């Protein structure tokens, strides 16, 4: 399982190579045993603590992962990477109210980030704040659009089989087990049938989206 800290740590030669190999192989329990021994003998070894966080996160053992994420943030306040690790752990614990607080602070401190916007989309949805979830989802799509404008899609776009849905551009994104479709004209979103709970649309610049969309099932 991927984790928010993997590959971002300083790489001291030799000392942690075996442990990193264990983590890459998914042998999290063996890594935890070795890392706990290191952190007991040297509580100030932050590299070992980050690797220990990785191990618990990969194991999906969220409670000890959160304890470590909190400790790491206390030692290195304002570190965007560690803040994202804490936010990811809170999300996996389904502590959505705390997730919203921490993720909102992240955006204030570090600026917009696609991962954090997606996290806020999910957390606000599951706390019943659907309009906010849609707003965060729309902003994430806008940022992806901007990126796509600078990187044309590596495939040929085809004309749609039928007319576009309505006269306005639409966008779609998944929220929980349902998909929401919203008009660019800020009409109220309307939930689509559960049969389209997950959609994998190409990330396209707005000028290409009309050609990339297909008519939804009735």
DSSP assignment of the chain equals ---SSTT-S---TTTTHHHHHHHHTT-HHHHHHHHHHHHHH-TT-HHHHHHHHHHHHHTT-HHHHHHHHHHHHHHSTT-HHHHHHHHHHHHHTT-HHHHHHHHHHHHHHH---HHHHHHHHHHHHHTT-HHHHHHHHHHHHHHHHHHHHHS--SS-----SS--SSSS-EEEEEETTEEEEEETT-PPPEEPPGGGS--------HHHHHHH--PPP-
pLDDT of 206: 43
Each residue's pLDDT tens digit in the chain (218 positions)? 556 665 455 545 578 999 999 999 999 999 999 999 999 999 999 999 999 999 999 999 999 999 999 999 999 999 999 999 999 999 999 999 999 999 999 999 999 999 999 999 999 999 999 999 999 999 999 998 888 777 766 666 666 666 655 544 444 455 544 444 443 434 444 444 443 333 333 333 444 444 444 334 44
The pLDDT assigned to 160 comes to 66
- Check residue 14 and give its pLDDT: 74
User: Does the predicted model carry a pTM greater than 0.85?
Assistant: no
The pLDDT value given to residue 15: 81
pLDDT at position 4: 65
> What is the reported pLDDT for 151?
73
Q: What is the reported pLDDT for 162?
A: 67
């Amino acid at each position: 399982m991927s984790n928010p800290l993997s590959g971002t740590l300083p790489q001291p030669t030799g000392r942690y190579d075996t442990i990193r190999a264990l983590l890459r192989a998914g042998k999290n329990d063996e890594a935890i045993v070795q890392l706990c021994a290191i952190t007991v003998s040297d509580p100030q070894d932050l590299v070992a603590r980050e690797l220990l966080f990785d191990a618990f996160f990969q194991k999906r053992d969220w409670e000890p992962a959160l304890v470590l994420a909190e400790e790491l943030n206390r030692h290195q306040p304002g570190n965007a990477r560690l803040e994202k690790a804490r936010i990811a752990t809170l999300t996996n614990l389904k502590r959505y109210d705390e997730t919203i607080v921490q993720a909102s602070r992240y955006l204030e401190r570090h600026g917009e980030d696609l991962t954090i916007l997606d996290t806020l989309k999910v957390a606000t949805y599951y706390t019943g704040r659907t309009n906010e979830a849609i707003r965060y989802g729309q902003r994430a799509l806008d940022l992806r659009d901007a990126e796509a404008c600078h990187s044309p899609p590596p495939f040929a776009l085809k004309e749609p089989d039928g007319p576009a849905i309505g006269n306005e551009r639409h966008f779609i994104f998944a929220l929980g087990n349902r998909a929401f479709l919203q008009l660019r004209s800020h009409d109220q979103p309307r939930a689509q049938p559960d049969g389209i709970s997950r959609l994998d649309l190409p990330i396209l610049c707005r000028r290409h989206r009309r050609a990339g969309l297909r008519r939804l099932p009735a």
